[in-house]
Every structure is written in C-alpha cells, then in structure tokens.
Amino acid sequence: MLPDIRDEKQLHAAFRWDIPERYNIGVAVCDVWAEREPDRLALLNVLDTGAVERVTFSALRAQSNRLANLLVASGIVRGERIAILLPQSREVAESHIAIYKMGAIALPLAVLFGIDALTYRLDDAGVSALITNKAGLAKLRSAPEGMLPFKLVLSIDGPDGSALGYTDALASQSDSFTPVASTPDDPALMIYTSGTTGQPKGALHGHRVLPGHLPGFQLVHEFFPQNDDLLWTPADWAWAGGLLNGLLPSLALGVPVVARKFEKFDASEAWQLIANLKIRNIFIPPTALRMLRTVPNPRASYDINLRTIASAGEALGAETLRWAQSELGLTINEAYGQTECNLVIGSSGLLGITKPGFIGKPVPGHQVAIIREDGSSCLPGEVGQIAIFRPDPVMFLGYWRRDKATIEKFIGDWMTTGDQGIQDEEGYIQFIGRDDDVITSSSYRIGPVEIEDCLIRHPAVALAAVVGKPDPLRTEIVKAFLVLRPDFEPSEVLASDIRDFVKSRLSAHEYPREIAFVESLPMTTTGKIIRRELRARG
C-alpha cells in the first residue's frame, strides 16, 4: 500500500488509502497467497527441540479452514469472542486466520497473565471458545470458581479433561471453508489495554485495522517487502506490537515470519536465532534492544545479515540508536501508537526521517497533531497532547461495552492518547511523557488500578498505590507504596511474599519490583491518590 517513492514529500503526496468494500483479515494474510502461490513459505516454526518446521500458505489455509469448520460445528456464530492463550506457534496463526474467516472476534491473551487477569478478560469479553495448551488449562483451573464455561476448549498439547486435542479435533474436519463476506468495519479483533481508571478495557478493532497498519509497517521496515525478507519479533503475538507490528502485516505482504517461543528473553539466544535463520527484519522493543547490547561485537560473533530494525513501546534513547549505527550499521526505526490506534508515527533511516530524541513524523495516511485541551493545534515547540484525527483505518471501533469511555477518548474528532509531546518546525514529534499514570515497563503498558486491586487482596495490605519508577533497563519499574493492616509489621520477608502474590495472580511483568511500607498515602479531598507525590519520593 506504500508507493515505492524514496522522497518523503512525494511519498506523502502520492499516498491514497485503497481499502475494498469487502475485506477479511484471514483471507488477506492467508488465502490470497495460498491461491496465488500455494508453496510459498508463511512460517518458520521453531519447535521446542530446536527443529524448524516450514509452514506454507496452503498448509495454513487447510488447517485454518478445518478450525473454522470446527468452530461453526460447535455452535459458535459470527461476532462471538474466541480467546487464544498460547505462546508464539503455528497454532496461533492458524487460530487467528480461522476466527477472522468465520466472522468471530479474536481475543489474544498473553501467557504472562495470571489467573485474575485472565478470568477478568475472559468474563468481561463473554468468551465462547478457548484455544490454549496444558499450561493455560492448569492456570485457568486454579481459579477459585473453576474454569468459565465455554462452548469449545482446545488444547494444542492433546485432550485434557473437557478440552479436546487440537490436532485430533481438526483432523475430522473439512479443509474447505467459505469465508464470510466481511466489511472493513466488521469487528475482528479485541485487545485489552490498561488505564488508570477502572479495570482494563477491550479495544475492539474492525478488519480494517490490518490495512491501516501496512503503511507504517512498510515505512519502518523501509519499503518492506524486499528480496529475502524474513521477519521475527520476540514480542508476544497477544500484544498489539507482536501481532499488528509483526505477524499479520508480514503475512499480508507475503513475507514469512519466524515463530519462536522464549520462556525468558536471552540476548545470546536471540542473536543465534537471527544468524541461524538468516532473519532480515526484526521488530524488537527497546528493553530487548538494550539486552542485545550486552553481547559485545555481535557482527564478529554471529553471521548476521539484518536489513531493518523497528522498535516501539517506549522511548528508545539516543545511546541505543548510536549503538545500532556503530555495531550493526543500521538505524533503528521507531514507531509510535496505542492499542486503540497503532503505528501512526514512524521514522525511516532510508528516507532520512530520523532525528535523535524524536520518535519520527506522521506516517502517510494518518493525521497526527499536538493539541491543546480545547482541541486546537499547538504551535511548533508547544507542549500538548499527541492526538490522531478520525476517521482513520487503524483506529479502534470503540471500547467493548464502554460507550462512555469511548466518547471520553475523543476531543471532537481527535482521538487523544494521554501522551504529552511537541512537534518541531520540521514536523518531527518528540514524546515528552504521559499525562496519566500508566506505567511503561519493558515495553508493556501497565495500569496501576489492576495491580492495586490485586495488592489489597493480600491479607497484610490495607491500602495500596502503584507508580512507575525510572529504570535504566526497563524504562520504568513498578513500585508499590503499601499501608499494612494493624496485625502486620514491615519486613523483607513480607515484601517478598507480596511480590510473589501479585506475580502469580497478574503477570510476571506487573508485580512490584520495589515495595515501600508507609503509614499513609497522599490523597485529595475526594479520596483520590496523588500519585505524583509518590513518584517524587523515588
């Protein structure tokens, strides 16, 4: 969708959206290529044994068709929500494609989530079916009330209680399926995003979210696809970054994707993977990039042949940018967006759209501005809120069952981001900081409310407040300020127990790495915690 024009001004002038009246993500990322080139490579699926499974587009079509038929036969109808709780694997790709083709709504869930985080999302979304593995089933069965009722549960590890074995269940189904004639605005995908008020909200996207991502994806990967391109991201495909900045746009453009499950990111293993599979394009969060920096002289140690590096999720930092230019001979291209409206700002070393300290310029096709509280545009150099103008193909349809929150997301036709920034006279946008209390840690956006709700479930905790504390590796870490109940005394043993309590119930990236026991919390007269005072304490 991005014209191959290597001049920035001419590129913007020539760009036009071209989204057909009928569009289905599953067809676009699979069936189109399976029909055109059946043996074209779609996935390099790295198994636990280290062996690499080569999956073609025709194989993806056959398996996704079988799954779509099974979902329909199980009584699941168009518009129902189907959860995917799996690490990177071919089954994740097959599940997404099947769900889109039969007209349901995909709900990807991160394997990092603990039981509280999972059950909240499953219940709030009203999920009808679940595709998971042995570990996911064990986690869900640990809920006090047991697993939620589903029309269908599939486990890729084989039959397990009420769960059918994924492979066996699909084997009995036809590999032919007629996809629904969906429109770009029909719901296709929902990803929960954290905020500072209330529980996480489901950002609902239409099928147009994929073509909406393509210009930004092609920009940061410098006119992707090029010969021999092969993409990998360590980001979980359950997050907007891994799914919409990685898997789906690459498949839509006919470029294979590497699926590799990392229990924990390891820099040496990552470099070895890049070298062994001859990966050409990576989308990698800044924290992981900083970890890659810990391996000295990677070009001498590994046979790497990268063409592009894209990064998003938090501020990159000038030092990491200089490292990539010096050690890899590449410019890291930054991208910016939110789950609600992603990849609307980007940079490109090839086009000369790069400036240290700035995240880039608006991507062709997206109208982005820095606005004041009344919705008027700021002057160059004036601090305001980063906002995106509607209509925009990449913009969400709304929050799931949260009409008021959807309305409050906009000032007129500007979708607000809650992020402060400035735009200079050249059009570059600089990220200043958030005007809410969302914590960015290792590229994850973490809402404090969900963590605070979990903390006060601990028998020792009376009151809790969570803030982000600056950290050189993770951008921020989660720090908790706790008021204890009368029968408990502060201790490192108690702090460790509280950390484990949160880690097991929410996720491994949301637990408080630092805990401060305090006598009281600063609050407004209306009972709201004044988090800026806590942040100032460090």
Could you tell me which of 343, 311, 337, 294 has the C-alpha nearest to residue 442? 311
Could you tell me which of 193, 107, 201 has the C-alpha nearest to residue 150? 107
- Say if residues 179 and 31 touch (Cβ distance below 8 Å): yes
Determine the pLDDT at residue 196: 47
Sequence-ordered list of residues with C-beta below 8 angstroms from that of 322, at least 6 positions apart, any chain? none
3-state class of 535 per DSSP?
helix
At position 259, the amino acid (one-letter code) is A
Place of tokens 């069936």: 31
Our CA angle for 414, 418, 421, nearest 5°, is: 85
Determine the pLDDT at residue 192: 95
Pairing of β 187-193 and β 164-165: unpaired
Q: What is the 3-state secondary structure (H, E, C) of 206-252?
A: ECCHHHHHHHHHHHHCCCCCCCCCCEECCCCCCCHHHHHHHHHHHHH
Q: What are phi and psi of 289, to 5 degrees?
A: -60, -40
- Say if residues 451 and 386 touch (Cβ distance below 8 Å): no
Determine the pLDDT at residue 525: 42
**E-strand stretches of 213-317:** 231-232, 257-260, 281-283, 308-311
Write out the DSSP string of 13-28: HH------SS--HHII
CA 59, 60, 65, 71 torsion-angle sign: positive
- Say if residues 154 and 131 touch (Cβ distance below 8 Å): yes
486: preceding bond cis by omega (within 30 degrees): no
Please report which residue ranges of 293-340 form alpha helices under DSSP H: 298-301, 318-323
Q: How far is CA 107 from CA 23, 96, 239, 422, in A?
A: 19, 9, 10, 34
Domains of the chain: 34-206 (3.40.50.12780), 439-537 (3.30.300.30)
Q: In this structure, what token pair is assigned to residue 209? A: 């979210």
Determine the pLDDT at residue 198: 64
Determine the pLDDT at residue 528: 59
Angstrom distance (rounded) from CA 537 to CA 515? 12
Q: What are phi and psi of 90, to 5 degrees?
A: -65, -30
Write out the DSSP string of 128-139: EEEEE-HHHHHH
**E-strand stretches of 143-210:** 152-155, 164-165, 187-193, 201-206
Cβ-count burial of 381 within 10 angstroms (0-12 exposed, 13-18 middle, 19+ buried)?
Answer: exposed
- Say if residues 102 and 71 touch (Cβ distance below 8 Å): yes
Determine the pLDDT at residue 379: 97
Determine the pLDDT at residue 344: 98
Q: In this structure, what token pair is assigned to residue 445? A: 């956006």
The single-letter DSSP state of residue 92 is H
Sequence-ordered list of residues with C-beta below 8 angstroms from that of 369, at least 6 positions apart, any chain? 377, 378, 386, 387, 389, 414, 423
Q: Please compute Rg for the chain using Cα positions.
A: 23
- Say if residues 279 and 231 touch (Cβ distance below 8 Å): yes
Q: What are phi and psi of 36, to 5 degrees?
A: -75, -50
Angstrom distance (rounded) from CA 304 to CA 300? 9
Instruction: List, run by run, the mean pLDDT of 10-residue segments along the chain (538 residues).
Output: 94 96 98 98 96 98 98 98 98 98 97 92 97 97 89 98 97 98 98 73 98 98 97 94 96 98 88 98 89 89 96 79 92 95 97 92 98 96 95 98 97 94 95 74 77 89 90 91 93 96 88 95 65 85
Determine the pLDDT at residue 526: 43
Angstrom distance (rounded) from CA 44 to CA 83? 23
Pairing of β 281-283 and β 444-446: unpaired
Determine the pLDDT at residue 357: 82
